[in-house]
Chain A
Amino acid sequence: MKKVAIVGYAQHPILENAGALNEVELIMPVVHQLFDELGISQNNIDFTCSGSCDYLQGAAFAFVEGLSAIQTNPPIKESHVEMDAAWAMYESMLKIQMGDADTALIYGFGKSSPGRLDSIISLQMDPYYISPLWPDRVSLAAIQARVLLEKNIITPEQMITAVIEARTNSKNNKNALVTELVDKESYLASEKISSPLNEFDCPPISDGSSAMIIASEEKAYDFTDQPIFIEGIDHRIESSNIGSRDLSKPTGIMASIEQLKLEKTKFDVAELHTQFSHEVPYLQSVLNLSDVPTNLSGGPLVGNVMMCAGLDAIGKTYESLKSNDLTNGLAHASSGPCLQHNMLVHLEKKS
């Protein structure tokens, strides 16, 4: 299989409300930042792919508006997934592997501030049996948290630790939205939103955008001396019927671990698309990351741009490997309620 590497990544500062910026104004700065860093332009890009969700802003064609941020004269090879931009990266990688492109630009953008994310996420559920009950995203996550706590797969202390560490790690992340430190007392004093989850267990409503450039092995070295290779990548979806899933057994992730032969891989760093505190210890245990530095960026708990946060996990892992003496990184992207659809990306720096 043709090798593909990440050669650049840029992230817009995560905002509580990016109202002053339309789609174009949100996307253009990160794309330009990336082009400037690499000294290239859209003319160097063979394929462009984006990830976004119309319903976040309530616009029927948010991605069409967004495309105006990109130079499209002459017309470009371009596509769009109504998913986290991690999947736009996945599609772009396939394009490179089939030989239709050597380079790809990926971008994602999301504005959760204009709408009510709780209601919007309810509409991801089964439209006959579940959506009409309007279950909010926190309650759905809380149902999984309670299963994990009840089965002693995670502990309340681990959730507190996840929150405290996320806030502490936000200092590593110049784009983090939430940087205020939290201690155990204030955590415990916080009111539950949907028990067992309180506000600290949940990600902030966030607006932002991110962009990434990937390239074939041959082309990658034209951009950088140190490309970070996608050594393995796999994603799986689980049932839409959360009542038929064992919420303490991540069958999709386990299948990906087996597919990628990750059981014995020793990772140096990991970034997980864990939107809620309980997901951090849960996935650390599933992915065997107990002694691996995880979410050094603070992760989604300090900034959670919908449709970007998965790509950001890959981007942050890329940055960690690039700027440190590290070799193997694991990134995780997720979609849907209770970690329904998960992607694992094994990134490697060649010596």
Chain B
Amino acid sequence: MIQAGVIGVGQTKYDAKRRDVSMGGLVREAIDNAMLAANVEWDAIDAVILGKAPDMFEGVVMPELYLADAIGAVGKPVLRVHTAGSVGGSTGVIAATHVCSGQFKTVLTVTFEKQSESNATWALSPRYPYSPHINAGAGGYFAPFIREYIRRYDAPEHIGWKVAVKDRLNALKNPLAHLHIPGIDEKMVSDTPMLWEPLRYLESCPSSDGACAMVITSKDLVGSRDVAWIKGMAVRSEGTLSAGRDEVNPQAGIDCAKDIYDQAGITNPYKEIDCAEIYVPFSWYEPMWLENLGFCDLGEGWKLTDKDATAIDGEIPFNMSGGVMSSNPIGASGMIRFGEAALQVMGKANDHQVEDAKVAMGHAYGGAAQFFAMWIVSSSLD
């Protein structure tokens, strides 16, 4: 297999409403930043891979067609990926696949969402005939799984508050993050209104506008650039309403993580991975994913969170950038995880840099916790 690395990550400022830009302007902002970081010009880009969540968010059908000019794809191959919430991650995987296949040397990949164009709950689940009025939004869908996790392992309620605080404190070190909440603490979180019990307002992700782009190139073209080597990448899916699924600890997540660890030669992720950007849209998904991804045994995830193992200076820092809890342009949220992991091993994460990070993980999930995309990036090729 041809070895590939990320040589540039570009992000927009994330905000509830990026009304200062068009959709094209939004994606171009991320692309310009990625290409500047990668020090590449347009003629170096062989293909463009675009990802985003459902077209109904913006009311533009198959937007790679409209965005061809904005993403600099005219005259080039372009692919549009849509794998629900995991799309930012799977788009990164597919972009890297373009290079690893040997067909392309350097590719640009970009993902975005401009949620302010519509309303997320409406766009995700418009009402159809014959279906009852049960829809309670994404939080309403995931809250029962969270409740079951809490019941199964007897987790105390402050764990959710703790993640909400930790991620938002990290976000204060990331100027691009959507939510900046100075002085946030567990009391502030626990005082916010209950939305979908057991989830309170500040235990949920925001709805954001934003875009994230990366430039990925093959080993022979990296030159003297800073690079995050892709050591392992994988996707896994399972059917939505499949008998025997465990939504609290999905098999697809377990298998996907094992696949990337095997590729990267990792046998003990807790020890060998220096930091991770994991898709945590609701606070409790941090302990749930700690277990699902094999950082600890079942039932031990909340204990790791409780003893600050996931803090930026902890044993296994999670979401140093502030994570999905602080910025959530849905289609881009997965790629932000992948890109932030790359920034860490390139030593370019600025104020939210984990000291001496050499190996990092990026993770995304979507649908009914059924689509997974993950990668491991490293500062060295060996």
A residues engaging B (CB < 8 A)? Answer: 1-2, 48, 53-55, 58-61, 63-65, 67-68, 70, 72-83, 87, 90-91, 93-95, 97-100, 120-121, 123-128, 131, 234-241, 251-252, 255, 335-337, 340-341
Contact = CB atoms under 8 A, between A and B. Distances in A.
B239 A68 contact: yes
A-B interface, 6 closest residue pairs, ranked by CB to CB distance from nearest: A75-B252, A97-B101, A78-B237, A98-B100, A82-B82, A94-B101
Category for how many chain B residues contact A: 35 or more
Contacts of B21: none
B272 interface: no
Contact of B84 (A53, A64, A70, A124): A64
Nearest to A127: B60
Given A82-B80, A98-B102, A127-B59, 7 more contacts: A55-B55, A58-B126, A72-B252, A76-B236, A79-B93, A95-B101, A240-B68
11 contacts: A53-B61, A60-B54, A60-B124, A76-B236, A91-B97, A98-B97, A127-B60, A237-B64, A238-B75, A252-B75, A336-B65
Interface of B: 1-2, 22-23, 54-56, 58-62, 64-69, 73-84, 90, 93-94, 97-98, 100-103, 123-126, 128, 234-242, 244, 250-252, 255-256, 367-368, 370-371
A236 B124 contact: no
Contacts of B76: 236-237
B55 A125 contact: no
Contacts of B65: 124-125, 237, 240, 335-337, 340-341
A111 B201 CA distance: 39
Contacts of A79: 81, 83, 90, 93-94, 235
A54 B54 contact: yes
B73 to A, nearest CB: 5
Contact of A73 (B56, B93, B238): B238
Contacts, number: 183
B54 A94 contact: no
A239 B68 contact: yes
Given A58-B126, A61-B84, A76-B236, A91 B94 contact: yes
A80 B1 contact: no
Contacts of A83: 62, 64, 79-80
B22 A128 contact: yes
A87 B2 CA distance: 22
Contacts of B69: 239-241
A340 B67 CA distance: 12
Given A61-B54, A80-B82, A98-B1, A121 B61 contact: yes
Contacts of A120: 61
B61 A90 contact: no
A36 B46 CA distance: 39
B240 A64 contact: yes
B129 to A, nearest CB: 11
Q: Which of A2, A79, A95 has the most CB of B within 10 A?
A: A79
Contacts of A55: 55-56, 61
A98 B74 contact: no
A127 B240 contact: no
Given A98-B97, A125-B66, A81 B81 contact: yes
Nearest to A337: B65
Contacts of B77: 234-237
B370 to A, nearest CB: 8
A48 B64 CA distance: 22
A121 B60 CA distance: 10
A1 B104 CA distance: 11
A237 B237 CA distance: 29
Contacts of B242: 68, 72-73
Contacts of A124: 60-62, 65-66
A133 to B, nearest CB: 14
A279 to B, nearest CB: 17
